[in-house]
C-alpha cells in the first residue's frame, strides 16, 4: 500500500523483519534472503519465490553516475523495471524519467514528478497517446519518421521534438535499430518537413542498443549526432538538446563513461558555452544488480530416457545433466529475461537439505533447472553444477535480476508473479535511501 513508510527512520515498510536492519554480519543478498524467509517458514505461502530489492544499490548507482557523468542528466527508463519504490527513490533523488507509454507517464506523474522531467521516448506513438501526453503537460518526445510529424503537428503543436537517429547497435545484446532510428541520410528531409509544419525540434537522440558491451559504440553515435546537429543548422534549427539513450552496463560503466566524455569533447567542444543540455535514458544500469531472486525447489527428477525396452538415466557424464530441478519461477515469470533479454542466469545455493549452514565442499553434479509451468520451453538453466545434496524445499538464488524481469512477467499457467521484499541495505547509502523514500512518500501524498 501507499502508507507503509514507518516513522522511526529505520523501518521502510512494515513487514520488513527487524533482522534486515543493520545486522552487522548480514551479507546483504544472502543474508536478507535468509532472514526474510526463515522468519516466514510457517506462513502458508512461505515457499513462494520472491525478489529482494536492495534500494541502496540503486542509490549507489546514481552516485556513481553523477561522479563519472556529471554533465549528463539520467532519465531512468521506466520500462526496464517500473518498481514503485525504485521510481519513488529516483524521483526523490531528482532524476528524470524516460516513459514509452501513457501508462508509464501516469505512473511517474502520480509520484509528484513534474512533466518537464519526463521524455516520451517512443518514436512511434498513437495519436491518442500524443494527445493524452499533451494534456498532462508532457511535451518532450522523440520521433524518427514523417508521419509522426504530421500527428504531432495536429494534436500537440507545442511539442519539443527530439529526432532519434539510427546508430550501429551491432555490439549490443538487444538491437533496437531494427525497429527505431532515422538513418542519417533521411535527417535533412525530416527536419525540412518539421520546419515546414512549424514544429520545434530541440535536438537529437540515439540508442546504441540495450546491453552494450562495446563502449566504442558511443564514439560513433556521438559523431553521427554531431552530423545531425550540423544538418539542423542548415535547415535553420539551432539544437540545444542531446539524448545519448540507454545501453549502459554495470560492468563496463566507467569505461563507457570515459569513452562518452571523450566523444563529447571531440564533437561538442564548445558545449558549456552554447548551453547544450545532455540527457541519457539508462535502465538496466540502475536496477540490474539491485534485485536478487530466491526460488524454491518444488520438485526434482532424474532425466530418464527410454531406449527400446530399457530405461536408463541420461547423463552421468559431465556433458549431460544428471538431475533436473523444478523451481517456482520460470521463463513465463521473472526469467522471461532469458527469452526477451537474451540473458543467461546462474543459480547459487541458499539452503541445502533444509539448512542454511552447509560446508560448500559438497560434491557438485551437472544439473538443469526448470520453471514450474507445463511447457518444455520453460528451462531456466540447461546446465549448472549444483551440490548433489539439494532436496525439494531447498532454496536457490539468482543475482542481477532487476532489469527486464518483473516488468514482462506473465501469469501463464496460473503461476503468480514473484513479489518483492525491500531493503535499504546496511551499508553505504542506506540512511540516504530511507530519507529519500520518506521524502518521496510525502510527495506521493501531495501529488
Ligand atoms: N531508451 C529507450 C528508447 C529504450 O528502448 C530502452 C530499452 O529498450 C532504454 C532507453 C533503456 O535501455 P537500457 O536498459 O539498455 O539502458
Contact 238, 232 (CB under 8 A): yes
Residue nearest to atom 12 of ligand 1 (CA): 246
Residue nearest to atom 9 of ligand 1 (CA): 246
Supply 285's cell numbers: 544500469
Cα gap 95→206, rounded to integer Å: 19
Please report the ipTM that was assigned to this predicted complex: 0.99
Contact 185, 166 (CB under 8 A): no
For residue 123, report the distance from its CA to the centre of ligand 1, in Å: 12
Contact 118, 108 (CB under 8 A): yes
Q: What is the 3-state secondary structure (H, E, C) of 14-64?
A: CCCCHHHCCCCCCCHHHHHHHHHHHCCCCCCCCCCCEEEEEHHHHHHHHHH
| 120 C-beta closer than 6 A to ligand 1 | no
Contact 162, 203 (CB under 8 A): yes
Q: What is the DSSP string of 148-164?
A: HHHHHHHH-TT-EEEEE
DSSP type of residue 2: -
Q: What is the pLDDT of residues 308-325, one digit of tens each?
A: 666 665 555 557 899 999
Residue nearest to atom 5 of ligand 1 (CA): 176
Residues annotated as catalytic are 374
Residue nearest to atom 3 of ligand 1 (CA): 121
Mutate to test the pocket of ligand 1, among 79, 122, 251, 337 (most ligand atoms within 8 A of CB): 79
What is the structure's pLDDT at 23?
A: 29
Contact 142, 123 (CB under 8 A): yes
| 434 C-beta closer than 6 A to ligand 1 | no
| 207 C-beta closer than 6 A to ligand 1 | yes
For residue 154, report the distance from its CA to the centre of ligand 1, in Å: 28
Atom of ligand 1 nearest to the CA of 205: 3
Residues 6 or more apart in contact with residue 76 via CB below 8 angstroms: 86, 87, 90, 95, 96, 97, 98, 281, 282, 283, 286
Q: What is the pLDDT of residues 193-213, one digit of tens each?
A: 999 999 999 999 999 999 888
For residue 193, report the distance from its CA to the centre of ligand 1, in Å: 27
Return the residue matching grid coordinates 503537428. Answer: 153
Q: What is the pLDDT of residues 404-415, one digit of tens each?
A: 999 999 999 999
- Residue 446 CB burial class (10 angstroms; 0-12, 13-18, ≥19): exposed
What is the structure's pLDDT at 361?
A: 81
| 77 C-beta closer than 6 A to ligand 1 | yes
What is the structure's pLDDT at 54?
A: 86
- Residue 271 CB burial class (10 angstroms; 0-12, 13-18, ≥19): middle
Atom of ligand 1 nearest to the CA of 281: 10
| 247 C-beta closer than 6 A to ligand 1 | yes
Q: Furthest-apart CA pair in the chain: how many Å? A: 81
For residue 1, report the distance from its CA to the centre of ligand 1, in Å: 29
Mutate to test the pocket of ligand 1, among 100, 205, 210, 252 (most ligand atoms within 8 A of CB): 210
Atom of ligand 1 nearest to the CA of 142: 3
Sign (positive or negative) of CA dihedral 72, 75, 81, 84: positive
H helices present in 297-401, as ranges: 336-340
What is the structure's pLDDT at 315?
A: 52
| 245 C-beta closer than 6 A to ligand 1 | yes
Helix (H, G, I), strand (E, B) or coil at 399: coil
What is the structure's pLDDT at 32?
A: 41
Closest CA to 324 of 361, 346, 350, 298: 298
Atom of ligand 1 nearest to the CA of 122: 3
| 210 C-beta closer than 6 A to ligand 1 | yes
What is the structure's pLDDT at 194?
A: 98
What is the structure's pLDDT at 269?
A: 96
Supply 119's cell numbers: 521524455
**Axis crossing angle, helix 102-109 with helix 84-92, rounded to the nearest 10:** 60
Single pTM value for the model: 0.90
Mutate to test the pocket of ligand 1, among 101, 166, 207, 403 (most ligand atoms within 8 A of CB): 207
Atom of ligand 1 nearest to the CA of 164: 3
Instruction: Express the helix, strand and coil content of the chain in percent, nearest 5 each.
Output: 35, 25, 45
Spans of the chain below 50 pLDDT: 1-44
Atom of ligand 1 nearest to the CA of 209: 15
For residue 47, report the distance from its CA to the centre of ligand 1, in Å: 34
| 121 C-beta closer than 6 A to ligand 1 | yes
What is the structure's pLDDT at 281?
A: 98
Mutate to test the pocket of ligand 1, among 73, 75, 77, 104 (most ligand atoms within 8 A of CB): 77
For residue 80, report the distance from its CA to the centre of ligand 1, in Å: 7
What is the structure's pLDDT at 337?
A: 97
Cα gap 246→280, rounded to integer Å: 6
Helix or strand holding residue 446 (H, E): helix 430-446
What is the structure's pLDDT at 16?
A: 32
Amino acid at each position: 500500500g501507499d502508507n507503509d513508510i514507518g516513522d522511526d527512520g529505520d523501518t521502510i515498510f512494515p513487514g520488513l523483519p527487524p533482522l534486515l536492519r543493520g545486522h552487522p554480519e548480514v551479507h546483504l543478498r544472502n543474508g536478507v534472503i535468509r532472514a526474510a524467509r526463515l522468519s516466514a517458514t510457517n506462513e502458508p505461502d512461505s515457499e513462494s519465490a520472491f525478489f529482494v530489492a536492495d534500494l541502496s544499490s540503486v542509490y549507489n548507482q546514481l552516485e556513481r553516475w553523477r561522479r563519472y557523468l556529471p554533465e549528463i542528466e539520467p532519465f531512468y527508463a521506466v520500462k526496464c523495471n517500473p518498481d514503485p519504490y525504485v521510481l519513488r527513490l529516483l524521483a526523490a533523488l531528482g532524476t528524470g524519467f524516460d516513459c514509452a507509454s501513457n501508462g508509464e507517464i501516469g505512473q511517474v506523474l502520480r509520484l509528484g514528478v513534474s512533466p518537464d522531467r519526463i521524455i516520451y521516448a517512443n518514436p512511434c506513438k498513437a495519436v491518442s497517446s500524443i494527445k493524452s501526453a499533451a494534456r498532462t503537460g508532457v511535451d518532450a518526445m522523440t520521433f524518427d519518421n514523417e508521419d509522426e510529424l504530421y500527428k504531432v503537428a495536429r494534436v500537440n503543436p507545442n511539442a519539443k521534438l527530439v529526432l532519434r537517429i539510427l546508430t550501429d547497435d551491432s555490439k549490443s545484446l538487444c538491437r533496437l535499430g531494427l525497429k527505431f532510428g532515422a538513418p542519417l541520410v533521411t535527417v535533412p528531409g525530416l527536419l525540412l518537413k518539421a520546419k515546414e509544419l512549424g514544429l520545434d525540434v530541440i535536438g537529437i537522440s540515439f540508442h546504441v542498443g540495450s546491453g552494450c558491451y562495446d563502449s566504442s559504440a558511443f564514439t560513433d553515435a556521438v559523431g553521427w549526432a554531431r552530423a545531425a546537429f550540423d544538418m539542423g543548422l542548415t535547415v535553420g534549427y539551432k539544437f540545444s538538446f542531446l539524448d545519448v539513450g540507454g545501453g549502459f552496463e554495470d560492468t563496463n560503466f566507467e569505461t563507457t563513461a570515459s569513452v562518452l566524455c571523450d566523444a563529447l569533447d571531440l564533437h561538442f567542444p564548445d558545449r558549456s558555452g552554447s548551453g547544450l543540455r545532455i540527457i541519457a535514458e539508462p535502465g538496466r544500469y540502475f536496477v540490474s544488480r539491485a534485485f536478487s531472486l530466491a526460488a524454491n525447489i518444488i520438485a526434482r527428477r532424474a532425466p530418464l530416457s527410454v531406449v527400446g525396452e530399457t530405461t536408463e538415466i541420461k547423463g552421468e557424464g559431465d556433458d549431460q545433466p544428471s538431475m533436473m530441478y523444478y523451481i517456482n519461477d520460470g521463463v513465463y515469470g521473472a526469467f522471461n529475461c532469458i527469452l526477451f533479454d537474451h540473458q543467461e542466469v546462474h543459480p547459487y545455493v541458499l539452503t541445502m537439505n533444509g539448512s542454511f549452514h552447509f560446508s560448500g565442499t559438497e560434491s557438485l553434479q551437472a544439473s538443469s533447472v526448470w520453471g514450474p509451468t507445463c511447457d518444455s520451453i520453460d528451462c531456466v538453466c540447461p546446465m549448472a553444477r549444483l551440490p548433489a545434496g539439494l532436496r525439494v524445499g531447498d532454496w536457490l538464488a539468482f543475482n542481477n535480476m532487476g532489469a527486464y524481469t518483473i516488468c514482462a512477467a506473465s501469469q501463464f499457467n496460473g503461476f503468480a508473479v514473484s513479489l518483492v521484499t525491500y531493503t535499504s541495505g546496511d551499508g553505504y547509502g542506506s540512511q540516504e535511501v530511507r530519507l529519500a523514500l520518506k521524502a518521496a512518500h510525502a510527495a506521493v501524498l501531495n501529488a
